[in-house]
Amino acid sequence: MSAPPIRYAMSGDVEIAYQVLGEGPRDVVWVAGAFTHLDVMWEHPGHRHFCDQLASFSRLILFDKRGMGLSERTRFGTLEERMDDVRAVMDAADSERAALIGVSEGGPMSMLFAATYPERTEALLLIGAEVKEEKTEDWPWGEVTRDEFEEHVAGLGERWGKGLGAPVLFPDDPDPEGMRRWLGRLQTASMTPRDAVAFMRVGMGIDVRDVVTSIHVPTLIVHRADDPVCHVENARFLAANIPGARYVELPGTVHIPWAGRGSEILEEVREFLTGVREGPDPDRVLATVLFTDIVGSTERATELGDRRWRELLEAHHSTVRRQLERFRGREIDTAGDGFLASFDGPARAIRCARAAVDAVGELGLEIRAGVHTGECEVAGGKLAGIAVHIGARVAGRADPGEVLVSSTVRDLVAGSGLEFEDRGAAALKGVPGEWRLYAVSAA
């Protein structure tokens, strides 16, 4: 699905970038947490799928906060100025009233907006939302103390752009290295390290405890019990103090709404806004998954610089997609510099992988690839399940320029003319038992 066009709203003299997706009967404004970049966010299939599902029953409005992403790079605004930005985006999108979905750091501004402008707020939905970031004696459920915060930001410049928070934010992702690279790209695209520190300082000063009792619009609060970023007591406080709020506490440790089991949150949001809950069990099919990954991407990006690396990355993506089309593969996920694709036959997946290795070699790049066949869950066009995890782990063990397959794949392509070299048995992280792996012969 192509990205919705970027539009701009004027909030005073500041340009705010926004997108509109869907044509549903109600408007929904997504107020994201932390840092954003509309284009880079759209690159991630998980986020894209989540937005597409929201837009199936709404007109979804996405925007970058002032000072980051595609919005004007200016100082980060106060909560009052950020409320002006939301009103400006709503006005530009011809939205009289909307449901606001406030996520994480986006929660406090959404609460203040709902209390201040109830005539423009159809509903308030708070997902993993915080109340107060700073941990103090009277609020032990904040993220960090002031001293811990200063220690954290002191070395942020050295860590920025490396996506080191990926294991915490996306603990169940089947391609952790690809997710880390994508998160690093999102960081550098959204703002500079110095701007990130300035933004975090603004966040540390937010405290909306005295505001919540003034919220008088229909409110849904969804929070995971073991959220590692925003303590669940934030949500319990909100549920106890927002009049008439509905509270749903889900199990799990994933903070990002569209990551992991995001369908659970979608079901709650859909039911709250439409009265209809759609939660069918996912279909299960036998599929062959192919993972690819650029070798030494971080070093090449550093060597080439952002612009030249982005151009090379786009050429890589186009090249791999041509091979997927040629061999009837279906692109499932593109995070950072890696691909996840599915095939209805393992031989085509192997031939596609070998063709992709050769084709990107002409660009001066090396990729590694892994192929596995197994039963996968299919929901909303995405694949999940242990087979996907195995495919990612197999790819991770491949050498540069190598296509590595599981024994399942080797056995299924008997008689195809493909030849293999035994790479022995290996333990795959997070997968029970040992798996025998085979390298596809370049011949």
The CATH code for residues 283-440 is 3.30.70.1230
Task: Note the pLDDT tens digit of each residue in 217-264.
Answer: 999 999 999 999 999 999 999 999 999 999 999 999 999 999 876 688
Please give the pLDDT value at position 334: 79
Burial of 138 (0-12, 13-18, 19+ CB in 10 A): exposed
Conformation bin of residue 104: beta by default, left when phi > 0, alpha when psi is -120 to 50: left
Q: Which two tokens stand for residue 145?
A: 């103390």
Q: Which helix (H) or strand (E) segment is 388 a member of?
A: helix 386-396
Give the single-character DSSP code of 380: T
Is residue 60 within 8 A of residue 30, CB to CB? The reply is: yes
In single-letter form, the type of residue at position 313 comes to L
Please give the pLDDT value at position 279: 46
CA distance 438 to 443: 14
Whether the predicted pLDDT of 94 surpasses 90: yes
The stretch 25-29 carries a mean pLDDT of 96
Q: How many C-beta neighbours within 10 Å does residue 382 have?
A: 20
| β-strand partners of 331 | 341
CA distance 201 to 268: 32
Please give the pLDDT value at position 9: 98
β-strand 338-343 against 283-294: which pairing, if any?
antiparallel
DSSP 149-194: HHHHHHTHHHHTTS-TTHHHHSTT-S-HHHHHHHHHHHHHHH--HH
Is residue 119 within 8 A of residue 95, CB to CB? The reply is: no
The stretch 177-183 carries a mean pLDDT of 88
The SS3 call for residue 267 is helix
CA count, 13 A, side-chain hemisphere, 203: 23
In single-letter form, the type of residue at position 408 comes to T
Listed by start position, the domains of the chain span: 7-274, 283-440
- Average pLDDT of the chain, as a whole number: 91
Task: Note the pLDDT tens digit of each residue in 97-120.
Answer: 999 999 999 999 999 999 999 999
State the greatest distance between any 2 C-alpha atoms of the chain, in Å, as a whole number: 71
DSSP 56-113: TSSEEEEEPPTTSTTS---PPPPHHHHHHHHHHHHHHTT-SSEEEEEETTHHHHHHHH
Per cent of the chain over pLDDT 90 is: 69
CA distance 113 to 117: 6
Task: Note the pLDDT tens digit of each residue in 350-385.
Answer: 999 999 999 999 999 999 999 999 888 876 667 888
Please, which residues have CB within 8 angstroms of residue 85's CB and are 6 or more apart in sequence? 9, 11, 14, 16, 63, 65, 66, 77
Q: Which two tokens stand for residue 404?
A: 């590595």
Whether the predicted pLDDT of 174 surpasses 70: yes
Is residue 187 within 8 A of residue 201, CB to CB? The reply is: no
* Residue for token pair 């107060």: 132
For residues 390 and 280, which has the higher predicted lDDT (pLDDT)? Answer: 390
Dihedral angle over CA of 80, 85, 89, 94, nearest 10: 40
Distance of CA 75 to the CA centre of its chain: 25
**Domains 7-274 and 283-440 agree in fold:** no
Please give the pLDDT value at position 284: 75
Please give the pLDDT value at position 434: 85
Q: How much of the chain is in helix, strand and coil states, percent to nearest 5?
A: 40, 25, 35
CA distance 235 to 233: 5
Most confident among 230-239, 290-299, 420-429 (mean pLDDT): 230-239
The SS3 call for residue 18 is strand
The stretch 134-142 carries a mean pLDDT of 95
CA distance 225 to 76: 31
Whether the predicted pLDDT of 281 surpasses 60: no
The CATH code for residues 7-274 is 3.40.50.1820
Dihedral angle over CA of 124, 127, 133, 138, nearest 10: 80
